[in-house]
């Protein structure tokens, strides 16, 4: 294991045959068993490709997830399609559903993905879960008769705690909470009240874990990459980080390679990072098809090490390469080439810093 740890964020593009199978299943053209067989094939191929990069920690590439955000409610009874719309800079949108009844529960818990992946590898596996703040947006603005928002949030926090605890118990190397709505909250509400409510809600979950468990829990934040576009890249990290590092987690995975003003980002990290927290800087730009060289990644980390203590520094990718299954903007071979470059560049930086 590198003394400068390096980890992926999570998703990699699904093979074309799996994307086609997901669409076919949605239209009842193939069975659940047929989809599962193709998912296992893609999972095994993805894990093998991860292992070939030399990655000390791997993920399942989120091959079985149609969406990093809504996997816990796939097939949930009573969903309505008129939820929050998230606009991206290139003009495309994503829309969340809303629930129509309670009590709320997850249909899929992320530990199921972890257990499936562990059958194909002995490597340490990190498991990504969606933040409760994102799922809190599932409650309709006009409410639900007989099921209050407070009751929904209580159910949601219980489900999130159970999911994280199950992942840790199932042998996850660590658990990463995907909190891509952080910068978006500031865009929607510059007063920061929405962001603060998101932080407080996530901390309700994190407060249920011991300090030892919190050290194995991380938070990923980025400007929401999808189809090589973002929803909130225009929001400064300087506004987000003071609140982000109030989360009671040990690790933070931060988009960085695509940031235009890196000195300001490093200054904001230094000013707000707590002694018991580690920052994993994104050193591969997942929105750019050009594969970084190991030397370029090394240089990014050496620059960061002048500002951030090395014992609190790690490397990662800016974001997942395919948070939604239909995102084909990045080829699988490019994603794995970037991952390999990150690993080699981190090792190179480590040698120069020792």
pLDDT digits (tens, 9 = 90+) for 251-261: 999 999 999 99
Residue appearing with tokens 């994102």? 134
Quick one: CA dihedral 53, 58, 64, 67, positive or negative?
negative
Give whole-number Cα distances, 168 to 39, 135, 242, in Å: 23, 21, 28
Count of beta carbons in the 10 Å neighbourhood of residue 354: 8
**Per-residue pLDDT tens digits for 266-314:** 999 999 999 999 999 999 999 999 999 999 999 999 999 999 999 999 9
At 124, list the tokens: 């340490």
The number of angstroms, rounded, from the C-alpha of 200 to the middle of its chain's C-alpha atoms is 19
Q: Please, which contacts does 50-53 make with residues 24 or more away whose CB atoms are closer than 8 Å? A: 50/8, 50/123, 50/336, 50/339, 51/121, 51/123, 52/336, 53/336, 53/339, 53/340, 53/343
Count of beta carbons in the 10 Å neighbourhood of residue 115: 16
Q: Is the pLDDT of residue 179 over 90?
A: yes
Q: Where do the domains of the chain lie?
A: 16-353
Cα–Cα distance between 125 and 7 in angstroms, integer?
A: 10
**Mean pLDDT value across the chain:** 96
At 25, list the tokens: 């299943």
Cα–Cα distance between 64 and 116 in angstroms, integer?
A: 10
Q: Which CATH number fits domain 16-353: 3.40.50.300, 2.60.120.260, 3.20.20.210, 3.60.20.30?
A: 3.20.20.210
User: What backbone phi and psi angles, to 5 degrees, belong to 217?
Assistant: -115, 135
DSSP 25-76: HHTTSS-HHHHHHHHHHHHHHHHHHHHHTT-SSB--TTTT-SBTTTGGGTT-
Q: How many residues does the chain have?
A: 354
Q: Residue 115 belongs to what H/E stretch?
A: helix 111-118
**Per-residue pLDDT tens digits for 202-224:** 999 999 999 999 999 999 999 99
**Per-residue pLDDT tens digits for 86-120:** 999 999 999 999 999 999 999 999 999 999 999 99
At 202, list the tokens: 């996530």
Read off the DSSP letter of residue 107. Answer: S
1: confidence class by pLDDT, cuts 50, 70, 90: very low
User: What backbone phi and psi angles, to 5 degrees, belong to 205?
Assistant: -75, -50
pTM (2 decimals)?
Answer: 0.96
2: confidence class by pLDDT, cuts 50, 70, 90: low
Burial call 233-271: b when 16+ CB within 10 Å, e when fewer? bebebebbbebbbebbbbbbbbbbbbbeebeebbebbee
Q: DSSP 3-state assignment of 86?
A: strand
């Amino acid at each position: 294991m590198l003394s400068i740890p390096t980890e992926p964020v999570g998703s990699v593009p699904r093979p074309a045959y799996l994307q086609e199978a997901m669409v076919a299943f949605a239209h009842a053209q193939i069975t659940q068993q047929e989809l599962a067989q193709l998912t296992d094939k893609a999972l095994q191929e993805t894990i093998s490709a991860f292992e070939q990069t030399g990655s000390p920690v791997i993920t399942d590439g989120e091959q079985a997830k149609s969406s990093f955000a809504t996997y816990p409610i796939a097939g949930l009874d009573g969903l309505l399609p008129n939820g929050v719309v998230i606009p991206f800079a290139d003009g495309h949108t994503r829309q969340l559903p809303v629930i129509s009844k309670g009590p709320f529960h997850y249909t899929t818990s992320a530990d199921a993905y972890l257990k499936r992946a562990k059958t194909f590898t002995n490597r340490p596996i990190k498991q990504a879960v969606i933040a409760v703040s994102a799922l809190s947006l599932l409650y309709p603005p006009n409410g639900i008769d007989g099921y209050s928002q407070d009751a929904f949030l209580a159910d949601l926090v219980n489900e999130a705690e159970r999911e994280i605890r199950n992942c840790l118990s199932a042998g996850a190397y660590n658990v990463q909470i995907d909190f891509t709505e952080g910068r978006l909250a500031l865009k929607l509400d510059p007063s920061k009240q929405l962001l603060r409510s998101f932080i407080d809600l996530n901390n309700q979950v994190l407060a249920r874990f011991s300090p030892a468990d919190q050290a194995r829990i991380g938070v990923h934040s980025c400007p929401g990459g999808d189809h090589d576009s973002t929803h909130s890249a225009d929001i400064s990290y300087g506004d987000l980080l003071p609140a982000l590092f109030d989360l009671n987690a040990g690790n933070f995975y931060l988009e960085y390679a695509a940031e235009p003003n890196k000195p300001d980002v490093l200054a904001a990290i230094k000013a707000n990072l707590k002694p018991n927290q580690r920052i994993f800087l994104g050193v591969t730009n997942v929105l750019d098809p050009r594969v970084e060289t190991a030397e370029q990644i090394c240089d990014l980390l050496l620059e960061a090490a002048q500002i951030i203590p090395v014992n609190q520094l790690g490397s990662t990718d800016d974001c997942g390469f395919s948070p939604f299954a239909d995102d084909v903007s990045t080829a699988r071979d490019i994603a794995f080439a970037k991952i390999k470059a990150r690993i080699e560049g981190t090792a190179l930086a480590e040698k120069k810093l020792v």
